[in-house]
Chain A
Amino acid sequence: MGIIINKNTKAIVQGITGTQGTFHTKLMLEYGTKIVAGVTPGKGGTQVLGVPVYDTVKEALEKHEANASIIFVPAPFAADSAFEALDNEIKTVVIITEHIPIKDAINVMAYAKQADATIIGPNTPGIITPGECKLGIMPVHIFKPGEIGMVSRSGTLTYEIAASLTRKELGQSTCLGLGGDPITGLNFIDVLEMFKNDKQTKAVVLIGEIGGNLEELAAEYIANENYPKPVAAFIAGRFAPPGKRMGHAGAIIMGKAGTAESKIEALKKAGVKVAEKPSDIAEVLAKALKA
Chain B
Amino acid sequence: MSLKLSDVERTWLNDDTAPGRAMAMRLVVRAAEFLGAERMVPIVSAHIDGCLYHGDGGVRFVETLRERGATVSVPSTMNVGALDLGNEERVRADAHFKAMARRQMDAYLDLGCQPSWTCAPYQAGHRPGRGEQVAWGESNAVAFVNSVLGARTERYGDFLDICCAVAGRAPFVGLHRDEGRRANMILDVTGLSPRLKAMDALYPALGAILGAEAGTSVAVIDGLPTDISEDNLKALGAVAASKGAVGLFHVAGRTPEALDVAAVLSDQLPVEVITITAADIRAARDSLSNTRAACLDCLALGSPHFSEAETRRLAALAGGRAFQIPVYICTGRHTMDSIDEDGTRAQLEAQGVEFIVDTCVVVTPILKDLGGVLMTNSGKFAHYATPNTGYDVVFGSLEDCVCSAIAGRVERAEAVWR
A binds B: no
Give A contacts to B, CB under 8 Å. none
Give B contacts to A, CB under 8 Å. none
